[in-house]
Each structure stands twice: as structure tokens, then as C-alpha cells.
């Protein structure tokens, strides 16, 4: 058994993981970063649109400042976020964008003079100021008062990921691809690292560290229709939940993106609508302006996804062999715009739909996209329940997004939170020493080896892991999608209980040797079903509608009873998660109010939780 | 009636002592809009769970799924079966170390490349969080991004005549990486310093100009232009050094 030691072990080499690693390495600590795939293939690289930061350089962003960004974020979250965290984020974002520019990100820059832009299909003129020439520019994204989304053409995530990984190479950080953490090593109160499967050879290794950070991204792959990469499978959340003490924050807060393509669910960026693209129905007519006269296509994602679903229920959807959908129209943006600023979209249309977006409509519908849910941490990124465990990025519920995140805020969060939390990790490591118990490490490894042996021998049964996963995905699509209601959620919980029992009886069909993928799937299936169950149970309990959590039987946002964050733990040996609640925020810079889009009624709070306690 | 697709797939698991390199045939009924991503996953989930291959974004963005498809390196996820004959042969990329079946170790190759090319902005400037960002012409930013679009799939190296003949050839991906920093005004490296990295037969002068790299690049990077640009620049640098002596 090979054992590796570092001050900090980061699980996941996407933007937040590498950003934490950079910060800790700059402070002089040794860091190992694990990744299932080569770092630059991390799902951060798929984010096309951009990063929100209130630089206020471009004409349409004039007068922007962190206060406005903060307000947009809080409204976007439907007052579910931690306002202290949202403030920290909005204030730090502009500095982080400049730091990225210094490290090498080729941000698009302000070009002075007149230019045109589209909004709601109409053409407008804007004039960029000469004294801003060459500063970082921004584009428009949903749910924002100003143009604030910094970008590099349509490959922002890719470009920033390249720069961050280059920075890791420059600092000599040990980034190990094709390694997968399959269990945390812990004693119930402190985390000491992880048991890791090498995805080249299949061997188990131990990685010991004073601090461990889970930065594994979201878990969209437990849904059947998701924009997420196949690696966004909740592996990091599964090992956290398996400890029995780490906590999942707001599991019911799952975002559905308005424009996943039909079929294949690949995302076309919100930049399409930001740049003036429109949504059309079966009659090729716009409809969003009927429901949202002010923001129209650019209301927040939860709102647009709901109106799209509603509009299809009114019989206005387009019928296809893959079910109903609507259209995204970017034809009027023109060849030059589509071939430069929306090139990835152009490629996706060509390669996966066989259409030309200059002359044809793009079939789209709401698709699972983002998990606001995640490993619950405090504002320093320290996970609840285990000392020495941290989490950041989409994997975490640091909680700047509450019940809906704005486009461009998650990609920005990866680096902003990574920087802030990396600094806190370095402070934690300063002068901190631990004793590693060899018995604890041995037991952790033995337990994982026994699991693997049981899968290979079929000791627990011969359930097919892929069928179990499919059953989980179907159950969530039926019960926990854009709209939810009591009876469907109850049915979903029941189905998931059966599926959970099946997940305990999985056995491999293949021999499990080497880089075997069936074994990798088997190792996380039980954890995935747990995540699904947390979503369903928490969604059933929350008898209100807030952000992306839309209950048809409780359509109002209930600040009186539900201005709180769900916390889910799965105690060792239990069959169901245990829910509890906490105040979403102790600071209320902006008291709960109307978002200005989305409609719906609000049951007001009698007093603000956490403020007067 | 849908077509029946016949897949001939390279099989070998180096971690399994009973495994020997061979071709294996699979048959699958084609569905509408089928890609090799859909097809291979169905084969693994329905017919043979021991099949090893890599996918990640499945949207042509990340470069994980490069393989030799009917003799030509390409991204499996964006290859539609409708565009192909029903007889499909899949092989792992050459050059890279085999992990199993269709999966190869591009990760290790590219991490070594970052060190060889020192793939980062070399600057003596220190970041000052209180200052505005340094200005940059938007056209320059777009030019850098154009070369930054490489997804490190490895197709260009797998298709490269020189790389197939000599293991130490840096390949188009590495040379394009250098070009990306050459056009970046933030990088303070001089032509002479770049010459030390790529001014050899392992680098720019090893290129035979066959240009399969550009032909197979799934991102249509302008590799032909970049290799020409570097060759001229490094040639001039070499001459300057010659006359200075």
C-alpha cells in the first residue's frame, strides 16, 4: 500500500480546487490535488458564458459596483443565501478578475466607440467610452441589473482553467489525474485524508493530510437529463455523506437551465439570451415577454425554466420523438457574432443537432444544470461535522446562491471562494499538527478493499449498477424536477427506498480489474441514491416555493415559516437521512422582498431569523 | 428498420494477466442522432461492462474522448454514426501510453509538456490588488484566446509523422502552446529564450510540414500558420545568434 503525505489534500482539480491549491502553495504548504480526469477536462472548462464581477468598465455596466452585484445575488437566491457570504463574494470578485488577468486570462476588453447589441430581438446602439479602452469588458446575463459578466469569447471556463492549471504547473503543485477518492479517512470528528483508487491501475492508495478539501463540482448526473459532464456524479458528496457527520446543505435546491438542447441535453450558454437571443414556441412566437414584461428572456433561470414548462403545458410546445421542447432563436445575431462570440454554440449545433444556428432554430428545454445543494460549510469553507475538512465551489454549500444562482455567479464563485477559502485553509494549517493513527488508516483501507472484493465476487447480490442508476435518474425526473408536489414527492421517496435497497445488492458483471469503469460506478451508486433521497425528503418537507424549488401545492414563498436552510445528514447505518434547519443568514443587509420577476405571493416573516437572537 | 452497426474495437487490459491485445466485434442497433458517446456507453452498459474508454463533457469541449475512428484521430463524442458506414473500427490513440482498450494516458503527456514549455506567463511584475488591471487591446486578447482553445485531446500528436518516428518530438500541441505565449504581451520571455525551448529538432525544426495536425484538430486551430510563424521566428533568431558570434 503506497501512502502519500501532504499538508493539504485537494479532491478535484477544477477551478475551485486548483485555486485553493495555489493559495496554500503560495503560503508555503505542500499540496496534492487529485482529479478523476486531467485537470483541464474538469467541468469548470465547460462553462462558456463568463464570470460576474462588478468592474463597471463597459458602457452597459456603467455605475455598477459590488453593492449592485450583491443585491442581484441576494434577489437571485430568493433570500435563501447567507448575506455575509454573498457580500464577501461580491466585494472580492473584481480583484479576483484582475488577478486572473495578471496570471494570463485573455479577457475580452473594452473597444471604444459605437456598437450594436440586441435585446428581446430588437437592435440597440451603445457607445463605449474611450478612457475605458483595453479594460476588462462584460456581457449581459440573466437576473442582473448591469452588464457584469466578464468573458473570453465563449470559452471563459476553458480559458480560466488553462490559466489556473498553468499557475499550478508554475508553482510545482502535484496535480494527479486519474485518481479518485473513494472514502475519507476520519475518526468521526476529524478528517485525515482519503482512500484513493488509481484509475490507471485500479490500485488503492492512501493520502494523508492535515487538511482535506472537497472540490468535486456538482452532482447533476443523478438526473437523467442534465447538462453536466459525466464526471459530475456526486462522488465527493458521497464520501462526505458516508462519514455520517458531514452535512448536505439545502439538498432540494437544484437548478434547471432553460436551454439544454434536445436531445443530448448539452447546454447552450445563457450568453445566447444575454446577447439578444429569444425563446420561441411551436408557433415560432416569443412568449417570455408575456409572463415577464420587464426581464423577458433574461429573468433568472428558475423563473424562465418554470415559464417554459408552463408554456409547454399550455399546449405551445414543439412535439418531437424526444418529448416536447421550445426553440432558442439566435438567427438575428448574425454570422460574425455567432462565429466568434458564440462559436461553441455554433459547434454544438453543427455537431450534435446537425443544424446551422444562423438560419435554423435550436430545440431547447429546461434541463438539470446546477446544484446549489452541497457540502455545508461556514464562511471560511470549513465543513460542518469534521475538523480539517473544507469544501468550495459547486461541491459546497458555502451559500452565496441560496435557492437559485445567477448565471456567471458560479464560475466566479469557483475562483473567488477558492481564493478566500484557500487563505483560510492556509491559516488553519499554520502551526497545526495532527497525529495519524495507523489503525484508523488500516481500518479505512481494509473497509474499502472489502467493498471492492464484495462487488467483484457478488457477495451482496447481482444487481446491475447501471440499471440501479437508471432507476434513480428516472425517479428524480418524475418527482424532483422543475415543478414538485406532495403526492409525487411521496411516491418518489418510496421508489428511492426500494432503489436504495437495490443499491446495496450491486455486483459486477465484469472482473473489476485495472481502470474498470463498472467498479467505479458501483463504488458510488449507494452514495448517489443517498443524495437523491436527500433531495426528495427535503423537497417534500419544504412546503413553500423558493427560487428553483417550486411546489405546485405551495406556490407562495413563505418567509414566516421557511426562511431557513435545510441540513441533511445520513447517520452511519441509517436507512433515511435526518433533516434539521438553521438560519440562512445572520446578517440582513437586504431584508426579504420581491425579486422583481417571477411573480408569486410572499407570506412575510414576522421577524428576521438570526438577527435579534 | 434501423441499421445494425458493427463495431470492431481494440481490446487489451494491461492490468489483467489473462488479457491479450485483440479486436472484438460488437453489434448495435442504430438510433436517431446517435453519437459514438451514446453507442459506446450502450455497449458498456448493455453488452460488456469491462469495456474501457473515456468520456467527460460529451459535448466536444474537454478533449477526453479522442480515439482513432476508422483510421483517423477524432473526438468520439462529436462523431455521429449517421455520417459513417455501418462498419466502424475504433482504436486507441498511438503515441500515448495505453491504459486499457480505447483509453490512453494523455494526462501524463501533457503535464510533462507544461514543464517542458514552461506553460505559464513569465513576468517580473507583481500583482497589486489595489490597482486597475493592465490594459490590453481586445484584438490581442482574441488572438491569445484563439490559440488557447486547444483542448489537449492529443489528436494532433497521434496524427503527426514526426511524433510517430521520434518519441522526443514536442508535437503541434506543445508548439502551439509556445505560440500562445509568444503573442501574449504579458509574457516577458525573449525570442532567444523561446529558442532554447523549441529551437531544435525536438521542437520546431523537427516538423516535416505534413500538417496532419491541422487536418485532424477538432477545434480547427490554425496550426499550419502557427508552426510556420514559429519556424520563421526561430530561424531568424538562429541567424541572429550565428552572426553575433
Tell me the mean pLDDT in the region A498-518.
98
- B57 interfacial to chain A (CB closer than 8 Å): yes
Query: What domains appear along chain B, each with residue ranges and CATH number?
Result: 4-103 (3.10.20.30), 118-244 (1.10.1060.10)
Q: What stretches in chain B show pLDDT beneath 70?
A: 245
Closest CA of chain B from A343, distance in Å: 10
The answer to whether the CB atoms of A38 and B106 lie below 8 A apart is yes
Closest chain A CA to residue B120: A166
3-state secondary structure (DSSP) of residue A165: helix
CA distance A463 to B30: 27
Closest Cα to residue B67, out of B45, B39, B47? B39
Closest chain B CA to residue A97: B133
Instruction: Compare CB distances from B114 to A169, A348, A515 and report the shortest one's residue.
Output: A169
ipTM: 0.97
Closest CA of chain A from B35, distance in Å: 8
The CA R_g of chain A, rounded to the nearest whole Å, is: 23
Q: How confident is the model at residue A505 (pLDDT cuts 50, 70, 90)?
A: very high
Closest CA of chain B from A336, distance in Å: 14
Q: Do β-strands A179-186 and A191-198 pair in parallel, antiparallel, or remain unpaired?
A: antiparallel
Closest CA of chain A from B49, distance in Å: 6
* Predicted local confidence at residue A600, as pLDDT: 83
* Predicted local confidence at residue A141, as pLDDT: 84
Q: How confident is the model at residue A611 (pLDDT cuts 50, 70, 90)?
A: low
Closest CA of chain B from A260, distance in Å: 12
The yes-or-no verdict on residue A312 having pLDDT over 90 is yes
The set of cell numbers assigned to B12 is 487489451
Closest CA of chain B from A50, distance in Å: 14
The set of catalytic residues of A is 257, 273
Tell me the mean pLDDT in the region A141-156.
90
Query: Which residues in B lie closer than 8 A to residue A170 (C-beta atoms)?
Result: 118, 120
* Predicted local confidence at residue A527, as pLDDT: 98
Q: Which residues of A574-598 are buried (b: 16+ CB within 10 A; e: fewer)?
A: eebbebeebebbeebebebeebebb
Instruction: Compare CB distances from B49 to A110, A169, A518 and report the shortest one's residue.
Output: A518
Query: Which residues in B lie closer than 8 A to residue A109 (C-beta atoms)?
Result: 135-138, 141
What is the reported pTM?
A: 0.96
| C-alpha A134, offset from chain centre | 31
Closest chain B CA to residue A93: B129
The answer to whether the CB atoms of B13 and A170 lie below 8 A apart is no
CA dihedral A165, A166, A170, A171 (to 10 degrees): -20
Query: Which residues in A lie closer than 8 A to residue B51 (C-beta atoms)?
Result: 517
User: Which among B31, B59, B131 is the top mutation candidate for probing chain A, defined by the most A β-carbons within 10 Å of its own β-carbon?
Assistant: B59
* Predicted local confidence at residue A598, as pLDDT: 81
Tell me the mean pLDDT in the region A425-451.
97
Tell me the mean pLDDT in the region A325-340.
94
The answer to whether the CB atoms of A98 and B129 lie below 8 A apart is yes
Closest Cα to residue A515, out of A235, A203, A231, A201? A201
User: Which among A22, A230, A261, A353 is the top mutation candidate for probing chain B, defined by the most B β-carbons within 10 Å of its own β-carbon?
Assistant: A230
Query: Which residues in B lie closer than 8 A to residue A162 (C-beta atoms)?
Result: 148
Instruction: Compare CB distances from B148 to A37, A159, A230 and report the shortest one's residue.
Output: A159
* Predicted local confidence at residue A51, as pLDDT: 97
Query: Which residues in B lie closer than 8 A to residue A201 (C-beta atoms)?
Result: 15
- How far lies A322's CA from each of A319, A357, A365, A423, A611, in Å? 8, 20, 11, 47, 49
Tell me the mean pLDDT in the region A472-483.
96
* Predicted local confidence at residue A252, as pLDDT: 98
The set of cell numbers assigned to A462 is 447481482
Instruction: Compare CB distances from B62 to A41, A102, A152 and report the shortest one's residue.
Output: A41
Average pLDDT over chain A, rounded to an integer: 96
The answer to whether the CB atoms of A159 and B48 lie below 8 A apart is no
Sign of the dihedral through C-alpha A79, A81, A82, A87? negative
The set of cell numbers assigned to A70 is 450583491
- B83 interfacial to chain A (CB closer than 8 Å): no
- B99 interfacial to chain A (CB closer than 8 Å): yes
User: What is the phi/psi pair of residue A244, to 5°?
Assistant: 80, -10
The set of cell numbers assigned to A519 is 467498479
The answer to whether the CB atoms of B136 and A518 lie below 8 A apart is no
Closest CA of chain A from B56, distance in Å: 5
Pair A371, A222: CB distance under 8 Å: no
- DSSP state, residue A480: S
CA distance A177 to A280: 43
* Predicted local confidence at residue A461, as pLDDT: 97
According to the 3-state scheme, what is the secondary structure of chain B? Answer: CCCEEEEEEEECCCCCCCCCCEEEEEEEECCCCCEHHHHHHHHHHHHCCCCCCCCCCCCCCCCCCEEEECCEEEEHHHCEHHHCCCEEEEECCCCCCEEECCEECHHHHHHHHHHHHCCCCCCCCCCCCCCCCCCCCHHHHHHHHHHHCCCCCCHHHHCCHHHHHCCCCCHHHHHHHHHHHHCCCCCCCCHHHHHHHHCCCCCHHHCCCCCHHHHHCCCCCCHHHHHHHHHHHHHHHHHHHHHHC
The answer to whether the CB atoms of B131 and A98 lie below 8 A apart is yes
CA distance A547 to A549: 5
* Predicted local confidence at residue B242, as pLDDT: 85
Closest chain B CA to residue A268: B59
Look at the block and give the residue holding cell 437576473.
A143
Question: Considering chain A, what percentage of its residues have pLDDT values greater than 90?
Answer: 90
- B39 interfacial to chain A (CB closer than 8 Å): no
- B69 interfacial to chain A (CB closer than 8 Å): no
CA distance A70 to A93: 11
Query: Which residues in B lie closer than 8 A to residue A25 (C-beta atoms)?
Result: none
The answer to whether the CB atoms of B107 and A46 lie below 8 A apart is no
The model's pLDDT over A394-413, given as tens digits with 9 standing for 90+, comes to 999 999 999 999 989 999 99
Amino acid at each position: 500500500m503506497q501512502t502519500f503525505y501532504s499538508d493539504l489534500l485537494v479532491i478535484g482539480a477544477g477551478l475551485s480546487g486548483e485555486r485553493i491549491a495555489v493559495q496554500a502553495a503560495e503560503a508555503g504548504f505542500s499540496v496534492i490535488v487529485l482529479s478523476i480526469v486531467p485537470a483541464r477536462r474538469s467541468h469548470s472548462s465547460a462553462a462558456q458564458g463568463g464570470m460576474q464581477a462588478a468592474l463597471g468598465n463597459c458602457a452597459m455596466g456603467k455605475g455598477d459596483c459590488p453593492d449592485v452585484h450583491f443585491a442581484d445575488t441576494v434577489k437571485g437566491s430568493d433570500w435563501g443565501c447567507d448575506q455575509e457570504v454573498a457580500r464577501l463574494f461580491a466585494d472580492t470578485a473584481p480583484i479576483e478578475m484582475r488577478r486572473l488577468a495578471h496570471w494570463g486570462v485573455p479577457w475580452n476588453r473594452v473597444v471604444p466607440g459605437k456598437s450594436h447589441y440586441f435585446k428581446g430581438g430588437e437592435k440597440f446602439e451603445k457607445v463605449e467610452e474611450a478612457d475605458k479602452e483595453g479594460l476588462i469588458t462584460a456581457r449581459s446575463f440573466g437576473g442582473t441589473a448591469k452588464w457584469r459578466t466578464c468573458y473570453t469569447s465563449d470559452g471563459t471556463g476553458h480559458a480560466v482553467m488553462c490559466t489556473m492549471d498553468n499557475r499550478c504547473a508554475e508553482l510545482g503543485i502535484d496535480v494527479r489525474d486519474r485518481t479518485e477518492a473513494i472514502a475519507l479517512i476520519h475518526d468521526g470528528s476529524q478528517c485525515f485524508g482519503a482512500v484513493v483508487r488509481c484509475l490507471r491501475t485500479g490500485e488503492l492508495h492512501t493520502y494523508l493530510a492535515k487538511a482535506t478539501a472537497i472540490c468535486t463540482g456538482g452532482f447533476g448526473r443523478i438526473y437523467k437529463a442534465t447538462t453536466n459532464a459525466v464526471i459530475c456524479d456526486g462522488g465527493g458528496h458521497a464520501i462526505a455523506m458516508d462519514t455520517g457527520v458531514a452535512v448536505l446543505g439545502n439538498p432540494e435546491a437544484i437548478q434547471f437551465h432553460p436551454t439544454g438542447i434536445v436531445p443530448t441535453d448539452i447546454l447552450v450558454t445563457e450568453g445566447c439570451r444575454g446577447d439578444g437571443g429569444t425563446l420561441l414556441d411551436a408557433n415560432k412566437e416569443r412568449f417570455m415577454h408575456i409572463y415577464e414584461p420587464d426581464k423577458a428572456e433574461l429573468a433568472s433561470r428558475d423563473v424562465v425554466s418554470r415559464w417554459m414548462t408552463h408554456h409547454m403545458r399550455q399546449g405551445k410546445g414543439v412535439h418531437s420523438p424526444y418529448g416536447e421542447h421550445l426553440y432558442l432563436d439566435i438567427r438575428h445575431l448574425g454570422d460574425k457574432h455567432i462565429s466568434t462570440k458564440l462559436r461553441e454554440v455554433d459547434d454544438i449545433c453543427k455537431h450534435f443537432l446537425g443544424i446551422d444556428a444562423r438560419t435554423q432554430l435550436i430545440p431547447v428545454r429546461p434541463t438539470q444544470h446546477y446544484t446549489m445543494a452541497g457540502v455545508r460549510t461556514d464562511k471560511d469553507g470549513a465543513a460542518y461535522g469534521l475538523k480539517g475538512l473544507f469544501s468550495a465551489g459547486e461541491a459546497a454549500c458555502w451559500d452565496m446562491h441560496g435557492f437559485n444562482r445567477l448565471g456567471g455567479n458560479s464560475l466566479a464563485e469557483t475562483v473567488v471562494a477558492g481564493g478566500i477559502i484557500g487563505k483560510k485553509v492556509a491559516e488553519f494549517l499554520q502551526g497545526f499538527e495532527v497525529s495519524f493513527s495507523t489503525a484508523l488508516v488500516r481500518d479505512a483501507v481494509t473497509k474499502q478493499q472489502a467493498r471492492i472484493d464484495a462487488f467483484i465476487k457478488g457477495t451482496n447480490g447481482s444487481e446491475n449498477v447501471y440499471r440501479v442508476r437508471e432507476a434513480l435518474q428516472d425517479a428524480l425526473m418524475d418527482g424532483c424536477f422543475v415543478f414538485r408536489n406532495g403526492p409525487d414527492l411521496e411516491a418518489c421517496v418510496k421508489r428511492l427506498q426500494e432503489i436504495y435497497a437495490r443499491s446495496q445488492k450491486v455486483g459486477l458483471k465484469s472482473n473489476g480489474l485495472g481502470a474498470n469503469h463498472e467498479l467505479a460506478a458501483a463504488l458510488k451508486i449507494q452514495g448517489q441514491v443517498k443524495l437523491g433521497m436527500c433531495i426528495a425528503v427535503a423537497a417534500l418537507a419544504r412546503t413553500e416555493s423558493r427560487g428553483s424549488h417550486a411546489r405546485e401545492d405551495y406556490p407562495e414563498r413563505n418567509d414566516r415559516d421557511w426562511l431557513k436552510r435545510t441540513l441533511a445528514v445520513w447517520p452511519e447505518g441509517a436507512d433515511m437521512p435526518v433533516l434539521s434547519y438553521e438560519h440562512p443568514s445572520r446578517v440582513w443587509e437586504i431584508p426579504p422582498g420581491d425579486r422583481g420577476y417571477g411573480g408569486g405571493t410572499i407570506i412575510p416573516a414576522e421577524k428576521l431569523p438570526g438577527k435579534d437572537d | 428498420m434501423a441499421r445494425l452497426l458493427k463495431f470492431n474495437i481494440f481490446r487489451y487490459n494491461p492490468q489483467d494477466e489473462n488479457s491479450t491485445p485483440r479486436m472484438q466485434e460488437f453489434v448495435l442497433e442504430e438510433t436517431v442522432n446517435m453519437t459514438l458517446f451514446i453507442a459506446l456507453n450502450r455497449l458498456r452498459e448493455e453488452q460488456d461492462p469491462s469495456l474501457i474508454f473515456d468520456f467527460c463533457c460529451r459535448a466536444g469541449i474537454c478533449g477526453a474522448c479522442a480515439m482513432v475512428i476508422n483510421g483517423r484521430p477524432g473526438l468520439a463524442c462529436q462523431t455521429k454514426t449517421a455520417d459513417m458506414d455501418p462498419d466502424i473500427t475504433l482504436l486507441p490513440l498511438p503515441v500515448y501510453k495505453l491504459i486499457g482498450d480505447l483509453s490512453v494516458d494523455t494526462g501524463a503527456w501533457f503535464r510533462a509538456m507544461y514543464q517542458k514549455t514552461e506553460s505559464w506567463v513569465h513576468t517580473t511584475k507583481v500583482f497589486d490588488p489595489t490597482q486597475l488591471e493592465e490594459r490590453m487591446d481586445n484584438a490581442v486578447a482574441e488572438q491569445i484566446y484563439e490559440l488557447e482553445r486547444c483542448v489537449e485531446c492529443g489528436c494532433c500528436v497521434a496524427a503527426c509523422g514526426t511524433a510517430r518516428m521520434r518519441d522526443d518530438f514536442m508535437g503541434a500541441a506543445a508548439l502551439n502552446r509556445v505560440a500562445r505565449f509568444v503573442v501574449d504581451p504579458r509574457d516577458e520571455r525573449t525570442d532567444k529564450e523561446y529558442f532554447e525551448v523549441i529551437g531544435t529538432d525536438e521542437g520546431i525544426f523537427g516538423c516535416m510540414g505534413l500538417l496532419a495536425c491541422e487536418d485532424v484538430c477538432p477545434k480547427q486551430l490554425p496550426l499550419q500558420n502557427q508552426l510556420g510563424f514559429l519556424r520563421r521566428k526561430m530561424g531568424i533568431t538562429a541567424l541572429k545568434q550565428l552572426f553575433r558570434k
